[in-house]
Amino acid sequence: ETGVTQTPRHLVMGMTNKKSLKCEQHLGHNAMYWYKQSAKKPLELMFVYNFKEQTENNSVPSRFSPECPNSSHLFLHLHTLQPEDSALYLCASSQGASPLHFGNGTRLTVT
Amino acid sequence: SQELEQSPQSLIVQEGKNLTINCTSSKTLYGLYWYKQKYGEGLIFLMMLQKGGEEKSHEKITAKLDEKKQQSSLHITASQPSHAGIYLCGADIKNSGYSTLTFGKGTMLLVSP
């Protein structure tokens, strides 16, 4: 059971493709996050949105473009990715500084 | 070096045995969170610690926070196969007002029958 739903669960894309990851939270939280999880590395915070406003961008390359149309939805638009961008992308939400609630992630493979 | 170090990186224990996982921060902790992850899935929240000396338990899992040492430990008593997974500690080292957590690399736990 998860209050945070991510789609798709798996995605394979070529380096010239454009795709989007979607996240939806049903918890009434005001903050949403994108994290990247690569093998043998700690989770890396990518973006934070608080009340739909982007409050943090951790030097993420411009080929990743987030969008937060409302407090319940978060997107990550992908274009011209590199093979090293292959990873598990996790969305999370929180109410202020409360514990993060994570979705099950999108496993992305860039070929 | 990393801001949050977890040890050990991996652990195999026999069912019924106790184990401890440690998490050490190089920066001041404003909150320490423990999560569990099954491979390829999302993180499940276990416990949050905010005050020095705080200790919390849930079923057979106990977490403690030593604020002065900037360390936390997660202890599992009488391990079961259901405890297998990756345990991650996440720390609030920014005190930003929302949960911009920094995570350790995780500890992979296997429980053998």
CB contact under 8 A, B102 and A42: yes
Chain A window 65-104: which residues touch B at a Cβ cutoff of 8 Å? 88, 90, 92, 94, 96-104
CB A104 within 8 A of CB A6: yes
pLDDT tens-digit map of B58-110:
999 999 999 888 999 999 999 999 999 999 999 988 777 777 899 999 999 99
State residue A62's pLDDT score: 94
Which of A21, A30, A37, A46 to mutate against chain B (most B CBs within 10 Å)? A37
Query: CA separation (Å) from A30 to A36, A47, A70, A94, B56?
Result: 21, 14, 9, 7, 27
With residue A31 as reference, give the H or E element that holds it: strand A31-37
CB contact under 8 A, B98 and A55: yes
CB A37 within 8 A of CB A43: yes
CB contact under 8 A, A42 and B4: yes
- Round to whole Å and give the CA distance between A36 and A89: 5
Question: Residue A95: closest CA among chain B residues belongs to which residue?
Answer: B98
pLDDT tens-digit map of A37-96:
998 899 999 999 988 888 888 889 999 999 999 999 999 999 999 999 999 999 999 998
Is the bond preceding A8 in cis, omega lying within 30 degrees of 0?
yes
How many beta-carbon pairs under 8 angstroms link A with B? 68
Q: Evaluate the CA torsion angle A62, A63, A69, A75 in order and state its sign.
A: negative
- Longest Cα–Cα distance of chain B, Å, equals 44
B105 Cβ under 8 Å from any chain A Cβ = yes
State residue A14's pLDDT score: 92
State residue A54's pLDDT score: 86
Q: Closest approach of chain B CAs to the CA of A22, in angstroms?
A: 15
Q: Which of B40, B43, B100 sits opposite A56 (nearest CB)?
A: B100
